[in-house]
Amino acid sequence: MSVPEAVAQKHVKAKVCLVGDVAVGKTSLIKRFVLESFEDRYVATVGTKVTKKTVQVDWKGVPATLDIMVWDIMGEKGFRALLRDAYFEGAHGVLAVCDLTRKDTFYDLNNWVQMVRKQVGDVPIVFLGNKADLVERVVVSPEELARMGAILNAKYFLTSAKTGRNVNEAFQILADAIGHRGD
């Protein structure tokens, strides 16, 4: 009796960019997702940093292995224009992050999304309201995030890089959306 030959699973790569203001937790979210760790001390990102993690997705309806190339960018407003073209070029998806304890970071998400869409078009976006563990300091409501998500046709999550709440789920939902498009 012969054993059928195993069919090689498709292996693809996708560029994912995290956007958001300074100190919203972009780097911490990446560390939680990729390394399953968290550090309390803040170290500002200088320029950009790329990290990779492999997940399973359906790619155009077929199971596939997806290497997510996660791009972290510094959130300083003055550097956005300088980094924008190179940073967003070829992006397949975006995680737009705000700090739930700072309303201004929520309001600025729309600017980030417009900048991304101007550069790469209508790629999948997932909104993250980070620092959900700081319950007593939260000033951005889930309803506000839901409204923004509905307006821009994007899912949203309340996340905590510190506890890991919804971090893997948010990255996986974005990976699935990228796979569904099969860019």
CATH number of the domain to which 118 belongs: 3.40.50.300
Residue at 2: amino acid letter: S
Residue 89, in any domain of the structure: yes
3 occurs within a structural domain: no
Residue 38 banded pLDDT, cuts 50, 70, 90? confident
Nearest in space to 17 (alpha carbons), one of 1, 4, 29: 29
Q: How many domains does the structure of the chain reveal?
A: 1
102 belongs to a structural domain: yes
CA neighbours closer than 13 Å in the CB half-sphere of residue 168: 10
Residue 44 covered by a domain: yes
- Residue from 49, 39, 160, 149 nearest 99 by CA: 160
For tokens 């309340």, the residue is 158
Bridge partner list, 130? 99
Mean pLDDT, rounded, for 66-70: 96
Which pLDDT score is estimated for 87? 81
Spatial neighbors of 180 by CB under 8 A, at least 6 apart, are: 58
Look at residue 4 and tell me if it is in a domain.
Answer: no
- The reported pLDDT for the residue numbered 60 is 84
Q: What is the domain extent for residue 122? A: 10-181
Report pLDDT for 7: 56
pLDDT surpasses 60 at 28: yes
Q: Answer for the pair 100, 156: CB distance below 8 angstroms, yes or no.
A: no
Q: pLDDT tens-digit profile of 124-159?
A: 999 999 999 999 999 999 999 999 999 988 999 999
pLDDT of residue 4 exceeding 50, the answer is no
Residue 1 lies in a domain: no
Whether residue 183 contacts residue 121, with contact meaning beta carbons closer than 8 Å, is answered with no
Q: Is residue 57 part of a domain?
A: yes
The pLDDT assigned to 73 comes to: 74
Give the type of residue at 99. D
pLDDT at residue number 55: 96
Burial tier of 2 (Cβ tally within 10 Å: 0-12, 13-18, 19+): exposed
Position 69 in a domain: yes
If pLDDT is split at 50, 70 and 90, which confidence band does 86 have? confident
Could you give the 3-state DSSP secondary structure of residue 22? coil
Contact between 176 and 124 (Cβ < 8 Å):
no
Residue 42 pLDDT exceeds 60: no
- Stretch (H or E) spanning 149: helix 142-151
Compute the mean pLDDT over every residue in the chain, rounded to the nearest whole number: 87
Q: Which of 12-21, 35-44, 102-111 has the lowest mean pLDDT?
A: 35-44
| Entry pTM | 0.88
Decide which of 112 and 106 is more confident.
Answer: 106
